[in-house]
Amino acid sequence: MDQPSEDEALRAFGLQGFGKQTRETNVQAQIEQSRRKPQKTLVQYGPDSDDESHKSHKSRDSDNDDDDDDDDEDEEEEDEFPVSHELVLKTHEAAVTAMTMDASGTRLITGSIDCTLKFHDIPSMTATSLRSFKSVDPNETKGATIGETHPINQVTFNPISPSQVLVISASNPQAKIFNREGELQTQFVKGDMYLRDMHNTKGHVSAITSGAWHPTDYSYCVTAGTDSTLRIWDVTNKRAQKEVIVHKSRAEGSAGRTRMTAVAWGAPAQGGSNILVSAALDGSLVMWSGEGPYSRPTGEIRDAHTRDTWTSGIDVSADGRLVVTRGGDNTIKLWDTRKFKDPVSTTSHASTSSQFPTSNIKFSPNSMNIITGSETGDLHILSTARLTPELITPVTPGSPLISVLWHPKLNQIVTGSANAETHILYNPSISTGGAIYVMSRAPKKRHVDDDPTRTMDLSNGVDPSTIIVPGSLPRGTSLTAKHPTLGTTASGRSRDPRRPHLPLTTPFAKSQPDEKHIREHIPLSSMRDEDPRAALLKYADKAKNDPMFTNAWKDTQPKTIYAELSDEEEGSDDEPAKKKAKT
């Protein structure tokens, strides 16, 4: 029988080798762990499917392996869209309503109904440390009311300057700009609500609903408010907007005003004039030239969507020719900016704007597809040509999918759901960086905070038995027991020789010095205990013999006469001084 080698014996004993060991990871195994489980509700449509065919959902059972052709088609569909794997971030406590990622794909910022922004640094995360490095409450800024909190409506990275982030909170008329580290840079001014003419106000007078950056100039952004205005801001001047666009509603009973619900600012990738498109609560869709003038819109559709329904999503294609809107009337419509009258395509889609007014819709990086979420938690990938679904895949079943984002460089889809989860969908064969980089890194060493058994659960309060009072005796020690290093002596000093003596503390949080220290170090401190009469009398003879200051009136100055104390008034020496007669 062959004897085991020395290396095999070491491995059997549990040793892998000597010296410092390097941590290695199986990249393929980690990526495979993030593969999404096959879903029976996965629905796929071909590009030639008509309206009737996509109404009757052709569901495929992923457990049926009898047909090899169907399996090949499934693999082809998985390779076409980055949805085969996912990375789940659970950093919020409520629904994720907004998200943004910088152009390089290294910084992810999410906003939630819990009124916080979570900053995630993708390169520093691993598969075992999926957490945000900073949490910011945009409402805790200078000038904010104490206790005032607002959910996050929108957060958007500047597409040109990645150090600027536009943040818009619900029920707040002031937009804010943060840097990528979560520090406040600019807070735009609030307008005077008592002015009727919106052209004369320096800012929004009511809540802001949406915002967007200038596509080619990093110093400008636009905000849409419920005061029926769009305001273009220069980030270097927070005291007043650069331009005011007042939308005059033509709906009956609106008095010329309506709420602006969404705004988008787009420009052709190949160059050319940019456009500014906004939707209003009166159902209108308005388009302006991005560089002005803004006195009159270049195109307006009065009944783009049903009146008094919240159009929550709007986006402009990469070539600047198409506009897609997601209305509160359960429809998705595609518009051509060159013929801005009737929709090019229309499809029905259940709206979640009544519950989540920030539900958005986005073009893919090449504008060949459109992505949006649904109230059932599914991700819908539509064809831009006819708005027919090409892929419907569940992300958070049973929980509405609110916000979506398709990053052009990473080719990964980021989604935010009502169950406070953020999902990053990717495909290792067609995606780069981002979630793939996270799953390819070796796991970090476990920290004590990562072990739930060593972390205190404060959700149900604090158990009084776990509270440790400083200076108290250990549990199980009697109060009458004398320990050489526990407790204090009769003079108040600690029994522990390693602990220095702490002087008493006054109510003003200052150390109380002893009497000896005051007498030796504070000048004239001895006068506090001196008799004032005796202190004056000891200078009587000197003033009489050397009248330096009273020589001018020595002839007219009356003679000082001190009363003589009788023997009875003087009293005994043992009598306290306060009982003696004072003259």
Q: Please give the structure tokens belonging to residue 105.
A: 């794909």
- pLDDT score for 534: 83
Cα atoms in the 13 Å half-sphere on the side-chain side of 325:
31
pLDDT in tens, 151-185: 999 999 999 988 999 999 999 999 999 999 999 99
pLDDT, tens digit (0-9, with 9 covering 90-100), for 486-510:
566 655 666 666 666 666 555 544 5
**Which run of H or E residues covers position 321?**
none
From CA 166, how far away is CA 212, in angstroms rounded? 8
Prior bond of 343 cis (ω within 30°) = no
Token pair for residue 309? 């329904």
Cα distance between the two ends of the chain: 121
Give the whole-angstrom CA distance, residue 115 versus residue 150. 6
| Gap between the Cα atoms of 547 and 263, Å rounded | 92
Q: What is the pLDDT of residue 3?
A: 58
Q: Looking only at Cα atoms, what is the longest distance across the chain?
A: 134
Token digits of residue 313: 């999503």
Place of tokens 């149900």: 460
Q: How far apart are CA 199 and CA 220, in angstroms?
A: 19
Using CA atoms, how far residue 505 sits from 492, 509, 510, 513, 522, in Å, is: 13, 6, 6, 9, 19
pLDDT for res 426: 96
Instruction: Report angle CA 187, 111, 380 to the nearest 5 degrees.
Output: 130
> Comparing C-alpha atoms, which of 242, 338, 248, 246 is closest to residue 291?
242
Phi-psi region of 257 (alpha: psi -120 to 50; beta: other; left: phi over 0): beta
* C-alpha 299 chain-centroid distance: 37
Q: How far apart are CA 301 and CA 282, in angstroms?
A: 11
pTM of the model: 0.70
For residue 500, what is the DSSP state? P
The rounded distance, in Å, linking the Cα atoms of 51 and 165 is 40
Q: What percent of the chain has pLDDT over 90?
A: 53
**What is the reported pLDDT for 220?**
96
3-class secondary-structure state, position 385: coil
Residue type, 478: S
Position 378 scores a pLDDT of 96
Question: Residue 431 is encoded by which pair of tokens?
Answer: 């995606």
pLDDT of residue 61: 42
| 10-residue stretch averages of pLDDT, the chain, 583 residues long | 58 54 70 80 46 42 47 58 95 95 96 95 90 89 62 94 93 94 94 91 95 94 96 94 94 86 91 92 94 90 94 95 96 95 95 93 96 96 94 95 96 96 96 93 68 55 58 52 58 65 55 70 76 81 77 74 65 52 49
Q: In what order do the strands lie in the sheet with 361-363?
A: 43-44, 389-394, 378-383, 369-373, 361-363
Supply the pLDDT for residue 40. 45
State residue 487's pLDDT score: 62
Q: Of 85, 153, 41, which is closest to residue 423 (Cα–Cα)?
A: 85
No. of helices (H) and no. of strands (E), the chain: 9, 29
Q: Residue 408 and residue 318: Cα distance in Å, rounded?
A: 11
Instruction: Tell me which amino acid residue 32 is.
Output: E
Q: What is the DSSP letter of 194?
A: T
Instruction: Tally the C-alpha atoms within 13 A of residue 447's C-alpha that lie toward its C-beta.
Output: 6
Structure tokens at 377: 């938690």
Provide the residue type at 144 as one letter: A
The neighbouring-strand residues paired with 117 are 111, 136
Architecture of the domain whose range is 32-48+68-444: 7 Propeller (2.130)
What is the DSSP track for 227-269? TSEEEEEETT--SS-SEEEE----STTSTT---EEEEEEE--T
Q: Where are the domains of the chain?
A: 32-48+68-444
User: What 8-state DSSP symbol labels residue 551?
Assistant: G
Residue from 380, 399, 364, 328 nearest 94 by CA:
399
Q: Which segments within 319-397 are labelled E, that is strand?
A: 322-326, 331-336, 345-348, 361-363, 369-373, 378-383, 389-394
